[in-house]
Amino acid sequence: MEDRVNNRSQRPTSDAFKTFMASQWAPADQTLPQQDPVAAFAARRRRAISDRFPGERLVIPAGPPKVRSNDTDYRFRPHSAFAHLTGLGTDHEPDAVLVLEPVEEGTGDDGGHHSATLYFRPLAGRDTEQFYANARSGEFWVGPRPTLAELKARLGIETAHLDELEVALTKGVGAREIGGISVRLVRKVDENLDALIDTARYNTAQDPDSLDLSELDALDDQLKEALSELRLTKDEWEVEQLKAAVAATAEGFEEIIRALPRAVGHRRGERVVEAAFFAKAREEGNDLGYETIAAAGNHATILHWITNNGPVEDGELLLVDAGVEAESLYTADVTRTVPVNGRFSEVQRKVYQAVLDAADAAFAAARPGVKFREVHAAAMKVLAARLEEWGILPVSAEEALSPEGQQHRRWMPHGTSHHLGLDVHDCAQARAELYLDGELTPGMVFTIEPGLYFKAEDLAVPEEYRGIGVRIEDDILMTDDGPVSLSAALPRTPDEVESWMAALLRG
Quote the longest CA-to-CA distance of the chain.
85
Residue 1: band (very low, low, confident or very high) from pLDDT cuts 50, 70, 90: very low
More confident residue, 351 or 135: 351
HSE-up of residue 427 (Cα within 13 Å, Cβ side): 23
CA 83 to chain centre: 11
Q: Which residues pair with 61 in a beta bridge?
A: 97
pTM of structure: 0.95
Query: Is the pLDDT reported for residue 2 higher than 70?
Result: no
Query: Is the pLDDT reported for residue 3 higher than 60?
Result: no
Residue 89: band (very low, low, confident or very high) from pLDDT cuts 50, 70, 90: confident
- Determine the average pLDDT of the residues in 66-82: 91
Note the pLDDT of residue 30. Answer: 85
The vertex-216 CA angle with 212 and 217, nearest 5°, equals 110
More confident residue, 17 or 507: 17
- Determine the average pLDDT of the residues in 424-449: 97
Q: Is the dihedral of CA 479, 483, 484, 486 positive or negative?
A: positive
Neighbours of 317 (CB within 10 A): 22
Residue 8: band (very low, low, confident or very high) from pLDDT cuts 50, 70, 90: low
| Interacting residues of 189 by C-beta distance below 8 A, sequence separation 6+ | 61, 62, 63, 79, 82
Distance CA 87, CA 38 (A): 6
Query: Is the pLDDT reported for residue 5 higher than 60?
Result: no
Distance CA 402, CA 227 (A): 35
Query: Is the pLDDT reported for residue 230 higher than 80?
Result: yes
- Determine the average pLDDT of the residues in 308-333: 98
Residue type, 413: P
Domains detected in the chain: 2-230 (3.40.350.10), 236-506 (3.90.230.10)
Alpha-helical segments (H) within 310-415: 346-365, 372-389, 397-401
Closest residue by Cα to residue 441 from 127, 237, 231: 231
What's the whole-number average pLDDT of the chain? Answer: 94
Residue 371: band (very low, low, confident or very high) from pLDDT cuts 50, 70, 90: very high
Note the pLDDT of residue 178. Answer: 61
Note the pLDDT of residue 49. Answer: 98
Which DSSP helix (H) or strand (E) runs through 218? Answer: helix 213-230
- Determine the average pLDDT of the residues in 334-342: 98
Distance CA 156, CA 86 (A): 9
What is the share, in percent, of the chain residues with pLDDT greater than 70? 97
pLDDT in tens, 153-211: 999 999 999 999 999 999 998 766 566 899 999 999 999 999 999 999 888 887 777 77
Query: Is the pLDDT reported for residue 388 higher than 60?
Result: yes
Distance CA 332, CA 247 (A): 9
pLDDT in tens, 260-272: 999 998 999 999 9
More confident residue, 90 or 113: 113
Instruction: Find out whether 184 and 53 touch, Cβ atoms under 8 Å.
Output: yes
Closest residue by Cα to residue 222 from 430, 427, 46, 47: 430
More confident residue, 25 or 61: 61
3-state DSSP assignment of residue 316: coil
